[in-house]
Amino acid sequence: MLSELQCLGLPPRDAREPPMAINKVSFRSDELSSGLDDEATFKRWRDIYCATLGEADVERMPDRAFSARCEAMQIGTVCLTRFEATIRQVSRSRRQVASDQRNDFFVGFNHGDQQFLAQHGREATGPWVFFTNGEPIDSHMSGNCSIVGLRIPRARIMELVPGAEDLIAQPLAVGEASRYLDQYVDFLLTSGSVEPRGPLTPQIELALVDLLALSLGASRDAQELGQMRGLRAARFQAILAAIRLGFSDPAFAVHDVARGLGLTARYVQNLLSETEASFSERVLELRLQKARAMLASLQGSRMKISDLAFACGFSEVSYFNRCFRRRFGASPTQCRGGHGSGGSG
């Protein structure tokens, strides 16, 4: 078992130590030793799961082949996770809970089939659940399990939501903050450019804490603080994503972003004005970068400049030519096939 963990880059967990400090790790059932049958693969994976994440009773789906994928990323004191598996049940007894002495809170967003979670004398189901690692728990899945979530120290949430323990395994409504939190966790786990121990770690960690507190119903002071930090940060990420999605439409405007996110156009403009580039500057840069990439491609080299300009979101060829030359130091025609000075950007 030790060699298997070392091969996957996962140190065995010492129950006397706090949760392991990691950057980002991933282990999948198909990465295990070859030559194992389906049942043996599940048992080997279950052993690694328990040694890495904590002792538990795990049952697989009996009517389908076993497969599983786990990811974890540590950002400050917060641990992000993704768990996908053909698992029917995961439970932890009082003895198992006591064996690793964890007492963190955990929030999980369900991206798979229906999940039922029982803890604290309650049973909850829905798009997201809130529970603690410090008590016995029983979780059942009706089909494929797919969950993203985050583990966070109890003290961080209790400061902002004093009644958080009353929300354990309770039905929780989906709101703006919880939707942004779900999307933000998924983005951080998926992005290959995030540096969990980089200079932005404190800000990312703070945004995650604030969004969870807002999702659970923070106190008024904490809500105001969260509105300035976590929620604004999440809205900013959503605005950037909307711009990347719609910039190539010539009619694309700030009102489209605002309407799609349920915000005002003025709010979107003001939030972007706090950064290095405005809405129009971001849209123009994306359009120019797309145009340069198309000009360097075989397809783009055969297109009329006017057609290419329109495909990138420009409605006037003369304006496109002026902007392109100013940005890259050469005309679009000179940059066909990757020729021309083509400044970096």
Q: What pLDDT does residue 114 have?
A: 84
**Can you tell me whether residue 35 is helix, strand or coil?**
coil
Confidence of residue 220 (pLDDT cuts 50, 70, 90): low
Check pLDDT > 70 for residue 337: no
Beta strands 137-141 and 115-119 are antiparallel
**232 confidence band (pLDDT: 50, 70, 90):** confident
What is the widest separation between alpha-carbon atoms in the chain?
Answer: 73
pLDDT of residue 219: 64
The helix or strand, by DSSP H or E, that contains position 110, with its residue range, turns out to be strand 105-110
- Per-residue model confidence (pLDDT) at position 15: 38
Of residues 249 and 339, more confidence is placed in 249
pLDDT tens by residue, 159-186:
888 888 889 998 888 888 999 999 999 9
pLDDT in tens, 43-94: 988 888 888 778 899 999 988 899 998 888 888 889 999 999 999 999 999 8
Q: pLDDT-based confidence at 7, cuts 50/70/90?
A: very low
pLDDT attached to residue 26: 77
Q: Is 263 exposed, middle or buried (0-12, 13-18, 19+ CB in 10 A)?
A: middle
The confidence score (pLDDT) of residue 278 equals 92
List, for residues 233-283, the tens digit of each pLDDT value.
888 888 988 999 999 999 999 999 999 999 999 999 998 888 778 999 999
Strand-by-strand arrangement of the 24-28 sheet? 24-28, 68-75, 78-85, 145-152, 105-110, 128-132
Q: Contacts from 201-204 at CB under 8 Å and sequence distance 24+?
A: 201/75, 201/76, 202/76, 203/233, 204/75, 204/76
Res. 6: pLDDT tops 50: no
On the question of pLDDT at 211 being above 70, the answer is yes
pLDDT at site 159: 84
Domain span(s) for CATH 2.60.120.10 in the chain: 2-174
> Amino acid letter at 101?
Q
Q: How confident is the model at residue 341 (pLDDT cuts 50, 70, 90)?
A: very low
CATH 3.40.50.300 fits 2-174, yes or no: no
Q: Which residue ranges does the chain devote to CATH 1.10.10.60?
A: 280-338
Query: CA 139, 107, 211 angle in degrees (round to 5)?
Result: 165
Structure tokens at 285: 């840069």
Q: Tell me what pLDDT residue 4 has.
A: 39
The conformational region for residue 35 under phi > 0 = left, psi -120 to 50 = alpha, else beta, is left
Cβ atoms of 305 and 332 closer than 8 Å? yes
User: Looking at the whole model, is its pTM more than 0.95?
Assistant: no
Q: How far apart (Å, rounded) are the C-alpha atoms in residues 82 and 149?
A: 7
Which CATH number is associated with domain 280-338? 1.10.10.60
Q: How confident is the model at residue 18 (pLDDT cuts 50, 70, 90)?
A: very low
Residues 286 and 242: beta-carbon distance below 8 Å: no
- On average, the pLDDT of the chain sits at 83
